[in-house]
Structure 1
Amino acid sequence: MANKPLVILLFISIFLPLCFSLPLLQVSPFAFLNDLQGCKKGDHVNGISKLKNFFHYYGYLNHRINVTGHLIEADFDDTFDDFLESAIKTYQQYFHLNPTGLLDVETISQLATPRCGVPDIINGTTSRMLSEHDNDNDSEHDHHHHHLPHAVSHYAFFPGRRRWPSTKYRLTYAFLPGTRADAKAPVARAFATWARNTHFKFSLATNYRRADLKIGFYGGNHGDGYPFDGPGGTLAHAFAPTDGRFHYDSTEKWAVGAVKGRYDLQTVALHEIGHLLGLGHSNVRNAIMYPYIKSGTTKGLNADDIKGIKVLYNRR
């Protein structure tokens, strides 16, 4: 009997440090890309299927929508085939990389950067989000483009040119009860920035359920069909008008301002509010609507973002 406390102490000393160290061992959702550098057509490598699902999700490969309107995972294998090569080339073209179809250093680096969880191409390789050269009808009926429709760099819209009705320019926003306190001022500043550059007026509502725009922090599968993937993957996402939902990934390292190794709450809010108003992703690197966001940096609206929102709402 006298030995029992010693056994218990040994158990605690051996296993508790192990338990508490587990969170430090978290691996980025994009870590699988490390094994794919240098891969080319014909190769069969573990992780290729994950890359195919990545391209599928973001609109570059066999993009389909299920009956509920949510993105679905396809049954992909680990073979580097013609479809993957084509998807890589389209991705490279979109982000101004050399369109070789190879998984070179630059492409892997781009793929591995944390980003917004909204797809770059919606409704398949067939119709990229509307550009200023497209019209409303194109978004519904353009089913023939495999590559990007224009070799220009600028903003884009959601298919159908989804936007708030002209009579609805006063929008209320509210935070999910329990939202971290340090996020509220940065989000308010982001709304103020958009208000200065658009016809919209934003006001904080006290009733979360009745607000036009709803902001909250969520982790993993949180019921909207677009689960978060843990630290270092997708940072946030938001829905096109007039849905109004904007979600941060609660597992990411957030900060107010430019803090090394962390993501600026206001910069991400600026990006996601752009989606709430109807902007899709831009492939202008300096635009706030560019889908990739670097840690330790801040960013504001770019001329491309302002022009995009004015074109969307037919304002000069």
Structure 2
Amino acid sequence: MFQNVSFFVFLFITILPSFPAINMRLESAVTQYQSKLGLPVTGKLDSTTLSEVMSPRCGVGDNDDINHKLHITKHYTYFPGRPTVFNRAFARWGSVIPVNFTETQYYKHADIKIGFYNKDHGDGEPFDGVLGVLAHAFSPKSGHFHLDAAETWSVDFNSEKSTVGIDLESVATHETGHVLGLGHSSVKEAVMYPSLNLRSKKVDLRLDDVNGVQVLYGSNPNFSLTSFLQSETTSPSSKSFSLRRHRLNPIFSISLMV
């Protein structure tokens, strides 16, 4: 990723001024990127934009067609170690929508299959090694949830001292949003924002995350928007999604295979 960014910077700053037509197209692309991520829109590859480009990020494209829903009853199971970080990630989303995540012992019955993979792993979306793309997940039509095995995954920064440590629970929470059908958010504080700083934890859903997933599924009968807003410690999220009233769907479960 860093080699690609370096080449892009060289191209943008050194070569493109001699090619106005190409320069205009790339400036348009930079403008779109800045707008999508809620950055100051300058059309220039400034330090703020470059910092965001170089941040470790989710591998799901910002323009990918998502927004599908899960409709049928499903189950999940865990790989050795039974990491509770995935339990907590699923539970966060389940607390705001009428969805249950349940466990199965049978791989073929799992609708969401989670695993760690290196480089090219057969889905047409190869990983790039340390940092760069951290993970990618596919919407309910597929349900595959892949993490880059080359990363230094951490569940406790007190014991994991690596300077390039990535919080597994933060990425698990983000990718579960994609599995549920959400795209990326332009709200930097949101779980569904596409990048994550090194050695940082971002696991608490924000209003933008909640609004988006409830547009697809409706609200969990036990969810209180008032209580949620009182618990938020950051400024209100942007209006990437709007609150809508929905008939509550029956509570159903999602099958996962880890």
TM-score (norm 1): 0.62
* 1:172 equivalenced with 2:75 (yes/no): yes
Equivalent residue for 1:312? 216
Q: 1:303 to 1:171 in 2, by over 3 A?
A: farther
Residue equivalent to 2:101: 202
Q: Which amino acid aligns with 2:69?
A: R
The 8 Å contact of residues 41 and 80 in structure 1, kept in 2 or not, is answered as no
Q: Deviations over 1:151-184 (max 9, x none)?
A: xxxxxxx2xx31112xx2x431234xxx563x72
Counterpart among 64, 76, 83 of residue 184 in structure 1: 83
CA distance in 2, matches of 1:44, 1:88: 14
Q: What's the CA shift string for 1:92-145, capped at 9, x where partnerless?
A: 1222323222222111111000100000113xxxxxx6xxxxxxxxxxxxxxxx
Do 2:138 and 2:178's aligned partners in 1 also have CA atoms closer than 8 Å?
Answer: yes
Aligned-pair identity in percent equals 40
Q: CA deviation at 1:30?
A: 2.1
CA distance in 1, matches of 2:14, 2:22: 5
Do structure 1's residue 33 and structure 2's residue 5 form an aligned pair? Answer: yes
Cα contact 2:129–2:150 (8 A) shared by 1: yes
Q: Does 1:270 align with 2:173?
A: yes
> For the residues of structure 2 that align with 1:234 and 1:287, how far apart are their CA atoms?
18
C-alpha change, 1:225 and 1:35, in structure 2 (3 Å) is closer
Q: Distance in 1 between matches of 2:205 and 2:61?
A: 20
> Which residue of 121, 125, 128 corresponds with 1:222?
121
- 1:134-173 counterparts in 2 under 5 A? 158=66, 161-165=67-71, 168=72, 170-173=73-76
Query: Which blocks of at least 5 consecutive residues in structure 2 are unaligned?
Result: 220-244, 246-258
The one of 32, 35, 55 aligned to 1:90: 32
1:180–1:37 Cα change, 3 Å = farther
8 Å contact 2:37–2:193 — kept in the other structure?
Answer: no
Give the aligned partner of residue 55 of structure 2: 113
Structure 1: which 4+ aligned runs deviate by more than 4 Å? Answer: 35-42
Does the CA-based 8 Å contact 1:236-1:272 persist in structure 2?
A: yes
> Secondary structure at 1:172's aligned position in 2?
coil
**Counterpart of 2:70 in structure 1: which amino acid?**
W
Partner of 1:237: 136
> 1:42, 1:297 → 2: CA distance?
34
Partner SS, residue 43 of structure 1? helix
Please give the root-mean-square deviation of Cα atoms over the aligned residues, in Å.
2.5
Task: Name the CA distance, whole Å, in 1 between partners of 2:14 and 2:42.
Answer: 15
Match of 1:292 in 2: 195
- Any idea what SS the aligned residue of 1:162 has? coil
Deviation at residue 34 of structure 1 after TM alignment: 3.7
User: What SS class does the counterpart of residue 171 from structure 1 fall into?
Assistant: coil
**In structure 2, how many angstroms separate the alpha carbons of the residues matched to 1:173 and 1:195?**
14
| Matches of 1:100 and 1:36, distance apart in 2 | 17
- Whose Rg is larger? 1
Q: Which has the higher contact order (CA 8 A, sep 6+)?
A: 2
2: CA distance, partners of 1:298 / 1:267 = 6
Gaps of 5+ in 1: 1-28, 46-78, 123-128, 130-157
- 1:36 CA drift (Å): 4.8
**2:183 is aligned with 1:301:** no
| Residue 253 (1) aligns with residue 152 (2) | yes
Q: Which residue of 1 is the match for residue 231 of structure 2?
A: none
Would the aligned equivalents of 1:117 and 1:234 in 2 still touch at CA under 8 Å? yes
In 1, distance between residues paired with 2:23 and 2:80?
45
Paired with 1:195 and 1:114, the residues of 2 have a C-alpha distance of 27
